[in-house]
Chain A
């Protein structure tokens, strides 16, 4: 059954126009990643309403293409102008930019393309091999486990995100609360609609995503000055040497790719973390003293880890509906928007679609390799785009996109209000990702919560009745209490003066 689904997945991913959407997605992703200030979250969010006319498979493959392409694209600005296009390429600046200053920008960019692509190939291959095991785990889940997994996801995101744990829980609960507007699951009672027909179906999570990522981001950018890059960046250096260089460091490449995959598979942590960890590991295991001054191993480590993260972050997103990062939260929004529910639905009824996404990711990395090596000399233009010009166009995309969702003005009001709320949440370190997760998972969480209680005649003991439930409850306790205990121990070791 799994093998048949894999073959069907390959056929879907390589069919026309699906492969065309994939190539378009990767190209868009590279541009989105290369322009400092956009990034995959915002880029995917504004494209989301445009995927409405596409079928679920094509839409998801387009979004996955953007996600994967932007991971590579982020390195272009990092190498050329010392400004990471995305947080996932922050560690690339350490050695990529010095190489650029030494006249080796082309070499660094080709190393980045080859590392990104090879890491993508490897991690997707492992993802495909792991999927039968994932299918088994996912099919063990019932309603109580699903509700608990949603709580676990929120807890992990709260801990990993910046800011205090209480702020994270408030943000997540606020997102969950807003999803209760509209018709209640199970009882079909109208809630918080104030008699308005436009609120019967509740707030739209795609509009929420657009408000939190597009409008809040534009408000942030509005206070910053113009373009980031200066003119006159020369992209020179040998490209073929870049390919040889990556192939001559297989250990760093493989290790970093799987560090990225491992970290990506933890809900809440993403490429923003993995590129630092992989860079640190490359530094630790190497005798070179050139790190920070143009050591190519640094570029290989950072770039292979962030593309490895893409495959890893799809594990919790597709199997349990828990995004590993902001970009996978948007991807999750895309899945739900097209009626695809993460979990057993995707791993049983729609297994061929799940495989087609994995295969698309594989092919997408091939596109990154080809584009990265062939168009590498023309990439500098992307870093010179003035962000002031982007703001009005992105606002128009967000407003028009939100109204397109359901032709409902509530969605336009949602982006405006949540844009302002999201901006202040960001300012005061309230986890926007936890809020989005609450908005995206609210419906699923409440339905599974109520169904569990219905199954147990109202007894909350159902949430610790089976061994998977107990395991998840234990994980939630560990996730919430663990960092608090380690903080307490660290403070105790440092003594009272440390605080």
Chain B
């Protein structure tokens, strides 16, 4: 099974586990009214998830209802029209470029050079990415998780510059840019402290000591 499908299976697993777990817990409730709504919602989730899991084996009309998008507005048609128009626009722009003067040709050359640079950058990025154990997305999530963990232990104020520096270093930003990002994010933290009197200097291991 492809990783794309596996991630959807994982998502459905989260939905199903939550629904089943919540339903099981409702049997300990003293009041039946407290249990009714969660059971109803969990029921909708379980039925939906099961239908989605077995969608490929359902009879064709039912499979369409379960698997295919239905919409009051035909999004596909809208997007198709949009793509067609974009193509027309591109054609028109190309035609204009053909007939335009040397200045525009120069601009195009600049654009082409920039595009080449972009391609070079993209190649460099992809080479760099190939050498790394994590994709940019995986790294971003891991960094956010680490940031949350550090914030819990030592406070958001302490964890913020560390998170931003780690992020900027991993993405290869220049030192000056990284510093500017640290300053900007610390300003955000102080904004919350000033405006909302938020205890962002508090952490489990650093109670009230971050400030």
Chain A interface (Cβ within 8 Å of chain B)? 49-50, 52-53, 90-91, 93-94, 97-98, 101-102, 156, 159-160, 162-167, 169-170, 173-174, 176-178, 180, 184, 186-187, 189, 191-192, 215, 218-219, 222-223, 225-226, 230-232, 266, 268-269, 273, 276-277, 280, 291-294, 388-389, 391-393, 395-397, 399-401, 403-404, 407, 409, 412-413, 416, 419-421, 424-425, 427-430, 446, 449-450, 453-454, 479, 482-484, 487-488, 491
Picked from A231, A395, A429, the residue with its CB within 8 Å of the CB of B69 is A429
In the complex the two chains form, what is the Cα distance from A162 to B145 in whole Å? 29
Contacts of B192 in A (CB 8 A): 49-50, 400-401, 404
Q: Closest A-chain residue to B161, C-beta based?
A: A396
Q: Beyond A180-B41, A184-B34, A395-B144: 17 further Cβ-contacts under 8 Å?
A: A98-B92, A159-B72, A164-B68, A166-B51, A177-B19, A191-B29, A191-B38, A219-B137, A222-B137, A225-B121, A280-B81, A292-B89, A293-B92, A396-B163, A412-B151, A419-B144, A424-B11
Q: Is B1 an interface residue (CB 8 A)?
A: no
Q: Is the CB of A487 within 8 A of B64?
A: yes
| Closest CB in chain B relative to A287 CB, distance in Å | 17
From A160, A166, A231, A430, name the one whose CB has the most chain B CB atoms within 10 angstroms.
Answer: A166
Picked from A94, A180, A412, A416, the residue with its CB within 8 Å of the CB of B38 is A180
Q: Is B30 an interface residue (CB 8 A)?
A: yes
Contacts of A392 in B (CB 8 A): 163-164, 167-168, 181, 185
Q: Is B109 an interface residue (CB 8 A)?
A: no
Q: Closest A-chain residue to B145, C-beta based?
A: A416
Contacts of B184 in A (CB 8 A): 393
Q: Is the CB of A180 within 8 A of B37?
A: yes
In the complex the two chains form, what is the Cα distance from A294 to B93 in whole Å? 10
Contacts of A483 in B (CB 8 A): 70-72
In the complex the two chains form, what is the Cα distance from A395 to B145 in whole Å? 11
From A166, A174, A396, A407, name the one whose CB has the most chain B CB atoms within 10 angstroms.
Answer: A396
| Closest CB in chain A relative to B199 CB, distance in Å | 6
Q: Is the CB of A170 within 8 A of B73?
A: no
Contacts of A164 in B (CB 8 A): 52, 65-70
In the complex, the 4 A-B pairs of residues with the closest C-beta atoms, listed nearest first: A170-B48, A184-B34, A187-B31, A222-B140
Picked from A98, A191, A269, A395, the residue with its CB within 8 Å of the CB of B147 is A395
In the complex the two chains form, what is the Cα distance from A15 to B130 in whole Å? 58
Q: Is the CB of A215 within 8 A of B160?
A: no
| Total count of chain B residues near the partner, CB < 8 A | 92
| Closest CB in chain B relative to A337 CB, distance in Å | 12
In the complex the two chains form, what is the Cα distance from A421 to B141 in whole Å? 12
Q: Please provide the chain B residues from 1 to 57 with a CB less than 8 Å away from any CB of chain A in the complex.
A: 4, 7-8, 10-11, 14-15, 18-19, 22, 25-26, 29-31, 33-34, 36-38, 41-42, 44-45, 48-49, 51-52
Q: Closest B-chain residue to A491, C-beta based?
A: B64
Q: Is B188 an interface residue (CB 8 A)?
A: yes
Interface of chain A: mostly helix, strand, loop or mixed: helix
Q: Is the CB of B195 within 8 A of A223?
A: no
Q: Is the CB of B41 within 8 A of A176?
A: yes
Q: Is the CB of B188 within 8 A of A170?
A: no
Q: Is the CB of A399 within 8 A of B148?
A: yes
Q: Is the CB of B14 within 8 A of A421?
A: yes
Q: Closest A-chain residue to B43, C-beta based?
A: A173
| Closest CB in chain B relative to A95 CB, distance in Å | 8
In the complex the two chains form, what is the Cα distance from A165 to B71 in whole Å? 9
In the complex the two chains form, what is the Cα distance from A397 to B156 in whole Å? 11
Q: Is the CB of B144 within 8 A of A446?
A: no
Q: Is the CB of A173 within 8 A of B44?
A: yes
In the complex the two chains form, what is the Cα distance from A401 to B198 in whole Å? 9
Indicate whether A404 sits within 8 Å of B196 (C-beta atoms), given known contacts A165-B65, A269-B73, A419-B144.
yes
Indicate whether A101 sits within 8 Å of B141 (C-beta atoms), given known contacts A94-B85, A230-B114, A392-B163.
no
Q: Closest B-chain residue to A221, C-beta based?
A: B140
In the complex the two chains form, what is the Cα distance from A425 to B140 in whole Å? 18
Q: Is the CB of B148 within 8 A of A416?
A: yes
